[in-house]
């Protein structure tokens, strides 16, 4: 449910790089979490089976190359012509004849309200909503079809070639040099009045704001342009505000949708299988490929790791792409990533198959031991 690289092609002629980047989406979710009501936070944790809202923020990008979700690419954006007033914009969005970010947000919210859906369906809807609220606030996700949301407009920034879409997805954020937690701390400065106003705005309003910004951005940039410090300083102010608005509005939507639901019922539905139901078998690393579906303990040396936002992918037995086993660290286990680099470790978990290779998902530090080898 994630990727090392994302390639998305569609008849809509749109290419989307990971929207807002992992840091942007995670900062939005971190801000939102600070503004959740206590009961809403419990509901969210229950639906996400203990994962944080921040961990779930990039899920909708990570699954787009999975066969099950291959039709979700158009859910991340809206293509519109320039020059529309608000009434024309609203009419154009409503009359779109295919799924888009607006319909995806409405669908996710409807599913979260639907009492007949099970916990897994509610979890999926929640993860989509967390992500799409962020996408709705990225200006280049509400922009022109003819340049593929700015993807074909080449520019230079920080001495490297990039494009207008990628610039606004992640390059401006990366240049600031903050991690998602620091971004959330620095950006979360909304006044009480702003919070009240932003949380009363509709998804259509969020998109209209992004459309207005992207329309102005097209006027401020030319193909081949070198992005200077003046442009950066002006633009990062917009980025900070849009990330903040997305976080505040996401919290408002989740409070409205989930505050009156029952976490106890959800938690029961999402309860994990007791450990006793999965006896642990000790195996050699060389035999792990034939152990799919079994709960095993296995030992191997770590040959590199990659943080992709929602998890850290650890290569056991050899470096990527020749690893004998991929260990996916999620939740509390992610804190171990820096401590196991180059070490020999013993892990315990259930072997699954991902794209033809064995993988074990680790969520708790107790599932990993760092061994001192003679």
**Which pTM was predicted?**
0.70
Query: What pLDDT does 307 receive?
Result: 83
Fold of 21-269: P1 Nuclease (1.10.575)
| pLDDT, mean of residues 208-229 | 95
Query: What pLDDT does 3 receive?
Result: 37
Max avg pLDDT among 90-99, 240-249, 276-285:
240-249
Q: Is the pLDDT of residue 191 over 60?
A: yes
Instruction: For residues 89 and 96, give the distance between their C-alpha atoms in angstroms, rounded to a whole number.
Output: 11
| pLDDT, mean of residues 148-156 | 94
| pLDDT, mean of residues 37-41 | 93
Domain 275-371 is classified in which CATH homologous superfamily?
A: Nucleic acid-binding proteins (2.40.50.140)
Q: Is the pLDDT of residue 81 over 80?
A: yes
What are the pLDDT digits (tens) for 41-78?
999 998 998 788 999 999 999 998 888 999 999 999 99
What percent of the residues of the chain are helix, what percent strand, and what percent coil, each to the nearest 5?
Answer: 50, 15, 35
pLDDT-derived band at 267, boundaries 50, 70, 90:
very low
What are the pLDDT digits (tens) for 111-143?
999 999 998 999 999 999 999 999 999 999 999
Residue 311 or residue 104, greater confidence: 104
In the chain, which segments carry CATH 2.40.50.140?
A: 275-371
CB-based burial label for 134 (10 Å; 0-12, 13-18, 19+): buried
Q: Which of 125-134, 150-159, 345-354 has the lowest mean pLDDT?
A: 345-354
Checking 283-291 for CB contacts under 8 A at 24+ apart, the result is: 285/316, 285/317, 285/324, 285/325, 286/324, 288/324, 288/325, 288/351, 288/358, 289/324, 289/357, 289/358, 291/351, 291/358
In the chain, which segments carry CATH 1.10.575.10?
A: 21-269
In degrees and rounded to multiples of 5, residue 154 shows phi and psi of -80, 140
In degrees and rounded to multiples of 5, residue 364 shows phi and psi of -125, 140
What are the pLDDT digits (tens) for 303-347?
988 888 778 899 999 999 999 999 999 887 887 888 888 888 999
pLDDT-derived band at 372, boundaries 50, 70, 90:
low
Q: Is the pLDDT of residue 277 over 90?
A: no
């Amino acid at each position: 449910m994630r990727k090392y690289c994302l390639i998305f092609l569609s008849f809509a002629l749109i290419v989307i790089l990971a929207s807002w980047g992992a840091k942007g989406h995670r900062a939005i979710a971190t801000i939102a979490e600070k503004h959740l009501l206590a009961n809403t936070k419990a509901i969210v944790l229950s639906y996400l089976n203990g994962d944080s809202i921040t961990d779930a923020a990039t899920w909708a990008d990570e699954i787009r190359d999975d066969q099950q979700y291959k039709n979700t690419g158009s859910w991340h954006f809206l293509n519109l012509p320039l020059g529309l007033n608000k009434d024309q914009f609203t009419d154009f969005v409503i009359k779109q004849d295919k799924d888009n970010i607006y319909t995806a947000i409405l669908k996710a919210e409807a599913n979260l309200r639907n009492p007949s859906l099970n916990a897994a369906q509610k979890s999926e809807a929640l993860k989509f909503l967390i992500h799409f609220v962020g996408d709705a606030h990225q200006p280049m996700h509400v922009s022109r079809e003819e340049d593929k949301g700015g993807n074909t407009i080449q520019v230079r920034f920080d001495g490297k070639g990039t494009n207008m879409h990628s610039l606004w997805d992640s390059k401006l954020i990366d240049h600031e040099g903050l991690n998602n937690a620091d971004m959330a701390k620095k950006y979360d400065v909304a006044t009480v009045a702003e919070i009240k106003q932003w949380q009363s705005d509709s998804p259509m309003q969020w998109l209209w704001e992004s459309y207005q910004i992207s329309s102005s951005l097209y006027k401020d940039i030319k193909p081949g342009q070198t992005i200077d410090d003046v442009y950066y300083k002006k633009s990062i102010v917009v980025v900070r505000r849009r990330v903040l608005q997305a976080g505040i509005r996401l919290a408002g939507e989740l409070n409205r949708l989930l505050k009156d639901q029952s976490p106890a019922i959800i938690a029961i539905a999402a309860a994990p299988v007791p450990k006793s139901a999965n006896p642990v078998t000790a195996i050699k690393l060389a035999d792990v490929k034939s152990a799919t579906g079994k709960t095993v303990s296995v030992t191997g040396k770590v040959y590199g790791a990659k943080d992709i936002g929602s998890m850290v992918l650890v290569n056991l037995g050899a470096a990527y792409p020749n690893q004998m086993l991929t260990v996916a660290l999620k939740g509390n286990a992610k804190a171990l990533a820096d401590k196991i680099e180059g070490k020999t470790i013993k892990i315990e978990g259930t072997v699954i198959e991902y794209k033809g290779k064995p993988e074990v998902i680790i969520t708790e530090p107790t599932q990993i031991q760092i061994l001192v080898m003679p």
